[in-house]
Structure 1
Amino acid sequence: MILVVFVMGKRTLTGATMKDRKFLKIAFFVSVYVMVAILLSFLLRDQNRKTVQQQPQVITYEIAQMSDVFKLLWEKSIEMRSGSDSLVAGEKDAFLITTNIRYAPVVRIDLLTGEPARYYLLARNTGEMGPRIATLVVNGNMLVAQFHSTQKISDNTTWGAAEIMAIDLQSGLLWTQPIRGTHGADLIVLTDDTVSVDGSGDNDFLFDLDSGRIIEDREKSGHNYTLALEDQIAYETLRGGFIRVVNRETNATIWTSEFIAYTFYQAVFTDELIILGSSNSGVLGLNKANGEVLWEIEDILSNFVVSESAVFFMTNDMELVAVDVQSGEVVGKITFSQQEVENDFKNQIQVAANDDTVLVYLGDGQQLMAFRYGFGERDTAVNFQPSFLFLQIPPAFRPSVFTIKEIKKP
């Protein structure tokens, strides 16, 4: 059509007056503009249709049944990073890693309302993309973050290796330490006294929680490493899937457990129990005094979290289950139903909890739900300092010193 208008315009211009020629020129350019606009609209409409077709449908979950010990507080839609260590709950707040790969933001949300109270950005100044935060672990007011390495790691180098950061949620950064010879950690165990790191390289580490001092730094021996150290009592894993407790002062073995599992993905210490997540997708509770297995539960879909009175996890039947921490007896559950729609989201189920609030993230539905457990009284005041943490690590060849800046909420 544009070609026809162009040819007709040329023929007409040869015998037209000056005024007619000017009009025909304007008409010609207008027709060209209209045709280009129509062509672009068709192209954009086709592209939008393809984009819509490529977007996966999102599963949404509903509460089918809920025990009386639970009460729904709020529900939010959010896209979190995949992994069972991307969501943790402190005493008053929850922290989660979002999918922003470039900046790897850690978002803090109020447990009572679900609203983002501040945005916490933990990043290292070692490149535009930077290392992603790999793991968050919390114990009361202590938050531990693990960063991936910034380069390919070989031997026992500390340059560009993974790092551990400890933060007091009331006062700010405590310390940071490189995990020599590793690009990450396979397991981090946080207790009241120590931080145990099962490095992905050839070494395992045990740090003092308050100071960051390295208590142990030793080469791996199979799956042998120290999970925790309390008053010179060491809790160790042994090759073959056992737990051993040793008095470090006398080097005497206090007890050795029966076979549990070849590997563990979680370990939580209470005053009386050791609760382990094993490689066979189960959770079990050990008597801390003698190593006796008190209870064991299989078919666990998610990670598990421990409060003062209960252990929470998701099962393969899409149930949030609360079991008594001492006996393993089921004391409450929530059953979720879902819409039967096809989607391409990977099923990512995560749980987090403090003493009376439980969070459940249903990844393929991008749903984050909070439940009150037990309906205990709770202080609603939120007192958190500083209001914004930007933790910046200099390049790896310089001393590993952090700066903390307080920045207003964007």
Structure 2
Amino acid sequence: MNNQRENPYHHSIKENEYFTEIWVSEGVISCLSCIQTYDGDAIILGNLSGNNDVNLLRVDIATKTIKWVKSATGYGPIWVGDTTIYTSSNGTARVYHETQTIGTAVVTAHNASTGEAIWSNNVYGARSIPFLSASDTIVSAAGQDYINLTHLDANTGARVGLNDDIFPIIYLDDRITLTYRWSYGGGLLNAIETDSQKQLWQYNGDIESFFVEKDILILGSTQNKGVGDVSAIDLMTDETKWTYDKVVSNVAASDSKVYFFQLAKDAEWSQNVAIPALIPVVDINSGERISTLNFIPEGIKPMYGVNSYNVWAYDDLVVVYFGDSHQLFAFQFTPPPSAVPLPTTHP
């Protein structure tokens, strides 16, 4: 990974005493849901050199060291389990010298330590996979129009069902089980008491990202033209503890802190306009803002740029990707010594 490619359009950082830039790479090609964190590393489905090759990589966030790289067939959501990485790729073919999304999408399981493929299977009837989830037993993939859910055995890849009545488990502990069925126009989240299997509550709506820490469920959802919100919900009672709006990215949470991209004050979301955005660091319990990392777009945004803003976290390591400028940042966040949250209003 190098930082030699000049990028006339880019995002610069306003100085922040609590964020230290570890490194930045230009020319990184990836996609929404194509990057995750795992044990202090970034798992990336994409390309770090600005060309059309697609690879699956494991990169040490603190040192920028590439631990392994494996060739991949295409882009799609990835899911990181305890020891296994699940990737998806669109079905593609060359038609009149152009790559088009036709054919059958594929799900592949990889050993997280080595990157080696364990199994691979087609998702019939789906040319692309917008949603992928996995538990210890089942991998579930939604087709491009969310018409069907294909369920695969997590260990072997064997098809175990094509059934929208199956609710994939997305979180499980000794108290509560969360299942989520993705569907066109909104999904259905069920919270079930693990021992009794009694349903505690339901949530209807699109979920772009989620995270569970202690007794809190963090939900990120898209509502209107790519702009949504993030909420903290009591895991057992469904009580909403706090909410932020004008969210334009996924949501990351680690070490009792929540990170997400939010539009700066008075900014409007547009695919064709450079957008000033910021990343609040929010206390997961109170919803109070601890710090804010501000980004400023500089230069003329290319017409083909896509506002895919994404953030991931592991402990106090933070990874940020800008799809419009193809920049990948790694930061170290050092919380303020006083740990006194700042006001939640926009800067």
Q: Pick the aligned partner of 2:129 from 172, 182, 185.
A: 185
Aligned counterpart, 1:13: none
The count of corresponding residues between Structure 1 and Structure 2 is: 297
Q: Pick the aligned partner of 2:218 from 261, 271, 275.
A: 275
Matched residue type, 1:219: D
Task: Name the one with the larger strand percent.
Answer: 2
Task: Name the one with the larger helix percent.
Answer: 1
Change (3 A) 1:197 1:268: farther
Change (3 A) 1:335 1:355: same
How far has the Cα of 1:121 moved from its partner? 1.0
How far has the Cα of 1:287 moved from its partner? 2.2
Aligned counterpart, 1:104: 54
1: CA distance between counterparts of 2:182 and 2:132?
17
Matched, 1:92 2:40: yes
2: CA distance between counterparts of 1:179 and 1:361?
28
Aligned counterpart, 1:355: 315
Aligned counterpart, 2:16: 66
Matched, 1:219 2:169: no
What secondary structure is seen at the aligned counterpart in 1 of 2:324?
A: helix
Matched residue type, 2:39: E
Aligned counterpart, 1:305: 252
Matched residue type, 1:255: L
Change (3 A) 1:348 1:203: closer
TM-score (norm 1): 0.61
Q: What RMSD over aligned residues (CA atoms) do the two structures have, in Å?
A: 3.5
Matched, 1:121 2:71: yes
Change (3 A) 1:184 1:340: closer
How far has the Cα of 1:141 moved from its partner? 4.4
Ranges in structure 1 where 5+ consecutive residues have no aligned partner: 1-55, 124-131, 152-158, 376-410
Matched residue type, 1:58: P
Matched residue type, 1:76: S
Change (3 A) 1:249 1:109: closer
2: CA distance between counterparts of 1:363 and 1:111?
19
TM-score (norm 2): 0.71
Change (3 A) 1:133 1:89: same
Q: Tell me if the contact between 1:149 and 1:183 (Cα under 8 Å) persists in the aligned partners.
A: yes
Q: Pick the aligned partner of 1:338 from 266, 273, 297.
A: 297
Q: Percent identity?
A: 20
Aligned counterpart, 1:18: none
1: CA distance between counterparts of 2:222 and 2:322?
22
Q: State which structure, 1 or 2, has the greater radius of gyration over its C-alpha atoms.
A: 1
How far has the Cα of 1:370 moved from its partner? 0.7
How far has the Cα of 1:304 moved from its partner? 1.7
2: CA distance between counterparts of 1:227 and 1:314?
27
What secondary structure is seen at the aligned counterpart in 1 of 2:15?
A: strand
2: CA distance between counterparts of 1:164 and 1:116?
23
Matched residue type, 1:245: A
How far has the Cα of 1:299 moved from its partner? 0.9
Residue deviations 1:253-291 (CA, integer Å, cap 9, x gap): 422246x53x22223344533322212211222222222
Change (3 A) 1:274 1:187: farther
Matched residue type, 1:312: Y
Q: Tell me if the contact between 2:229 and 2:244 (Cα under 8 Å) persists in the aligned partners.
A: yes
How far has the Cα of 1:193 moved from its partner? 6.0
Matched, 1:134 2:58: no
Q: Pick the aligned partner of 1:244 from 173, 190, 195.
A: 190
2: CA distance between counterparts of 1:208 and 1:326?
36
Ranges in structure 2 where 5+ consecutive residues have no aligned partner: 1-5, 94-101, 265-276, 336-347
Aligned counterpart, 2:269: none
Q: Tell me if the contact between 1:322 and 1:330 (Cα under 8 Å) persists in the aligned partners.
A: yes
Matched, 1:256 2:201: yes
